[in-house]
Amino acid sequence: MASIRELHQQLVTKERSAVELAQEALDRIETLEPKLHSFLAVMGEQALTQAKAVDEKIAAGDEIGPLTGIPIAVKDNMCTPGVPTTCASKILQNFVPPYESTVTQKLKDAGAVIVGKTNLDEFAMGSSTENSAYQLTANPWDITRVPGGSSGGSAAAVAGSECPVSLGSDTGGSIRLPASFCGIVGLKPTYGLVSRYGLVAYASSLDQIGPFGRTVEDAAIVLEAIAGYDPKDSTSLNVKIPSYSHLLRPNLRSKGRLRIGIITETFGTGLDPEVDEAVKKAISHLQDLGAEIQTISCPNFRYGLPAYYIIAPSEASANLARYDGVKYGFRAEEGDNLLSMYEKTRAQGFGQEVKRRIMIGTYALSAGYYDAYYLKAQKVRTLIKKDFQKAFAAVDLLVSPTAPTTAFKAGEKTKDPISMYLSDLMTIPVNLAGLPGLSIPCGFDRQGLPIGLQLISDVLREDLLLQVAHTYEQTTSWHLKQPSL
């Protein structure tokens, strides 16, 4: 599938219309969905209406922005009025939001054409998209394997060329992990850069929306459209948004010497040797491009996972208290009084992993345990933040593998939650510190599965992150390889 820039050019020169682009995406979705199952809802009619409006604008001679007329998919935890927003949960099976999330509004304002809502782990809790109550999404590189999670549908849709770009959300790695498993670019922005208004809350102090694209430029263009201050989100940052896509430079030397730190703690036991090799090659490539490489120790990094699995479930247990069968979606049939209706609704409406998180979170927040678990985890969070602060006093960017392995087989880890949780070992600390992180393809293993390189910058340095990733991409060819479907 062509890049946003190429598609934009085709629209401007009237070589193709927005309706044709939307139809092409819809046709591709129709052909591939029986294999991939990336979408929970396809918005054919709305997409074609939106595209028609774009074509009228073009015909009237109006100037169009880079995203105008570009098909895009959105993870099904972002509210879209008139279209169900299920979070891949049975408890929200009939929920049609009466309001629009800020990100989808911004996409529409930019003229993007939303083609559908994508599959995810229920309430974004998971690393493989296997926790969806509705369907299993396949990895386009090997359909017996998972696409990663929780934004697996959005990643598979882009990797499988069902649409050029998509949105995901990342609480502990849910954009970067599926980007890595599916061989595409995925960016989790600085906490607060993109509004969370209308994003169904999982763990509010960690959640952040970001783009998937086949190239860094595509991701930059989408980020530019969705970032920015929103008075409807109290954690939204009031900062000026640079034109990320215009800042992309072809080389690393344009801004003086770039210092890159390798996070020592992300290499070692548990890391797949082929991932290790590919990531190290990518780092020497960055060195050849002119970066100064050093190793950096983040000693508290290894406590990220346990701290996260206290903080995220605690916040989730509070956020998910609202699903009681009264206000939203599903309600259990039987139940002779209010309490038993609540209990039956939640017992039948939530899946196993969501229940596990609610129980862990409720326990960690209960009187007597709060100090021992929640407070302790928050202190660990501060230590991790300090590790990063120290690191960014010495270097401009940090690198690590995105994930310890390549995509695993469907069913391989579902019985063992801890081994599933370990997939996010390298991405979680970035969320705990509120930093931006990006995953970019940096190779393939012997089975032909993509490997991802994670780049991390200091807060609000998405410009630098994207520039370096772009230079790496333009001097390598990993992003040009596509799965045969």
* 128 assigned to active site: no
Nearest position to ligand GLN, beta carbon: 174
Q: Which two tokens stand for residue 4?
A: 């946003």
Of 194, 312, 360, 466, the one binding ligand GLN (CB under 6 A) is 312
As measured in angstroms, the least distance from the Cβ of 476 to ligand GLN is: 27
Give yes or no for residue 122 binding ligand GLN (CB under 6 A).
Answer: no
Least Cα distance to 467 among 276, 252, 228, 176 occurs for: 252
Task: Calculate ∠ Cα 162-163-164, nearest 5°.
Answer: 135
List the catalytic residue out of 3, 17, 128, 150.
150
Please state, in angstroms and rounded to a whole number, the distance separating the CA atoms of residues 145 and 137. 9
8 or 357: CB nearest ligand GLN: 357
As measured in angstroms, the least distance from the Cβ of 165 to ligand GLN is: 19
As measured in angstroms, the least distance from the Cβ of 198 to ligand GLN is: 16
As measured in angstroms, the least distance from the Cβ of 337 to ligand GLN is: 34
Number of residues that bind ligand GLN (CB under 6 A): 13
150 or 319: CB nearest ligand GLN: 150
Please state, in angstroms and rounded to a whole number, the distance separating the CA atoms of residues 154 and 120. 8
Q: Which two tokens stand for residue 49?
A: 């209406």
Bond into 484 cis (ω within 30): no
**Which residues lie below 8 Å from residue 386, measured CB to CB, with a gap of 6+?**
300
As measured in angstroms, the least distance from the Cβ of 190 to ligand GLN is: 15
Please state, in angstroms and rounded to a whole number, the distance separating the CA atoms of residues 277 and 197. 41
111 or 437: CB nearest ligand GLN: 437
Of 69, 164, 172, 178, the one binding ligand GLN (CB under 6 A) is 172
Q: Is 455 helix (H, G, I), strand (E, B) or coil?
A: strand
| H or E segment and range at residue 170 | none
Q: Which two tokens stand for residue 400?
A: 């690590």
Give yes or no for residue 170 binding ligand GLN (CB under 6 A).
Answer: yes
* 108 assigned to active site: no
Site string for ligand GLN, 150-169 (x = CB under 6 A): x-------------------
- Range 341-351 burial, b when 16+ CB lie within 10 A, else e: bbebbbeebbb
Give yes or no for residue 180 binding ligand GLN (CB under 6 A).
Answer: no
- Is-contact 354 388, C-beta < 8 A? no
Site string for ligand GLN, 422-441 (x = CB under 6 A): --x-----------------
User: Would you please indicate which residues are annotated as catalytic (active-site) residues?
Assistant: 75, 150, 174
Binding site for ligand GLN (CB under 6 A): 124-127, 150, 170-174, 202, 312, 424
